[in-house]
Amino acid sequence: MGRLFGTDGVRGVANSELTPELAFKLGRAGAYVLSRDNARPVFIIGKDTRLSGDMLEDALSAGILSVGGNVIKVGVLPTPAVAHLVRAYGADAGVVISASHNPFEYNGIKFFKWDGFKLDDDVEDEIEDIILRDRDVSSDIIGDKLGKVVEADDDALELYARYLESTIDVEIKGRKIVLDCANGASYKVAEKVYRDLGADVTVIGNSPNGTNINDKCGSTHPENLQEEVVRQGAELGLAYDGDADRLIAVDEKGRIIDGDKLICICAKMMADRGELTHNLVTATVMSNIGFHKYLESLGCKVEVTGVGDRYVLESMLKTGGQIGGEQSGHIIFRNHSTTGDGILSSLQLLQAVIMSGRKPSELADEIEIFPQVLKNARVKNENKTKYTNDPDIQNAISKIEKYMEGSGRVLIRPSGTEPLVRVMIEGQDIEQITMMAEKLAILITKRFG
């Protein structure tokens, strides 16, 4: 068995790769590591709408109970809800059972610490070590030392909804909004929040059956939302992914507003309100050059990190940044949350639109997103990083960059999971950058394939 934890918890095909046995071991080892100083630790467990969620929830709970931990099951709620509730309940840790934007047959398990932040690498390594070495951490837990499942003092969904509603201070009553909940974890709470605040809401993707999560809906498939926004004459469409930690929006014309534009729009609002600490915005290396140019025009500095929301958050904690995220729509508002939250992000976007007095399309059109082409170079696994020292490849990159003269860029990075080197080029001429990306990918394949 290789490394269990990826960039966002443990994931795999449910009952094949992510088995009940593994879920039990994760619960047992996780509870042991995260609560060593507490004889009766409390763990919150939330999940999305996947069919396998019940199976994994019971197995995970059994593991926690076997080392003396108590479990609060909060049911179907977004990932960021668990990050919030672990602090609201004063619990020792939270666990989410979800595979985010992946198809229903996949599932995942990710932990949050008592403070609502995801686990550090060294803590994940310690949990893995217990599992991989099959260490006995529960044989002395018998009799009244065993844990139990307890009921929450308050309704978890209501508690989370009230928190979300408190994050904006503008009136949205009567605003015509369409929500796409991806048949996932947000299907109840997102509608509740917008109706509580008085919006005129139409909801799609809110009929989960265990197998239709992310199926032609949500942030990865916003086509139905685009059509519905135009049909309804709505001001804004808002699409979440399966666990509702991401947001992709649709303007009143039915056009997509991706994560880069969402961050720009919200960062401008924060700057206007004096909330953008150090005029700093955090993004990954995949952020569009148009994103950088727009923020620079506002007098903002962009802190660039590796791909992945955990790296965005790590940077924000070091620099004091208040907003950061990815093109995928995973956006972190540090003045409100410890992780990406799709519903919170959508409320902040709506607030930015209302405060501007303009239409969403007008705000989005201010940000010129340059065409982006991604090509894969297939290489031997051991050769994935050798392009960095190859003079022919570096010379080819230099020629492309000189040709674009600041109006584009080249990004090459090895895949973390496949024997591929990914070649991404941005520029103003889509045909030209496509040809350049293809040639560069072919060159890398010839050298190291």
* φ, ψ of residue 362 in degrees (nearest 5): -65, -40
d(C-alpha 220, C-alpha 67), whole Å: 39
Torsion angle of the four alpha carbons 394, 396, 397, 398, in this order, in degrees rounded to the nearest 10: 90
Report the side by side order of strands in the sheet with 70-76.
Answer: 10-13, 106-113, 93-97, 42-47, 70-76, 149-150
Helix (H) or strand (E) holding 301: strand 301-305
d(C-alpha 438, C-alpha 225), whole Å: 33
Asked if 426 and 371 touch (Cβ cutoff 8 Å), the reply is yes
d(C-alpha 441, C-alpha 179), whole Å: 39
SS3 track for 10-26 = EEEEECCCECHHHHHHH
- Active-site residue flag, 100: yes
Paired residues of 256 in beta bridges: 250
Alpha-helical regions (H) of 180-338: 189-196, 223-232, 259-272, 289-297, 309-319
* φ, ψ of residue 409 in degrees (nearest 5): -160, 165
Q: Which two tokens stand for residue 381?
A: 């696994």
SS3 track for 318-378 = HHCCCEEECCCCCEEECCCCCCCCHHHHHHHHHHHHHHHCCCHHHHHHCCCCCCEEEEEEE
Asked if 304 and 326 touch (Cβ cutoff 8 Å), the reply is no
Asked if 378 and 347 touch (Cβ cutoff 8 Å), the reply is no
Asked if 342 and 399 touch (Cβ cutoff 8 Å), the reply is no
Among 61, 66, 98, 100, the active-site one is 100
Active site residue ranges: 100
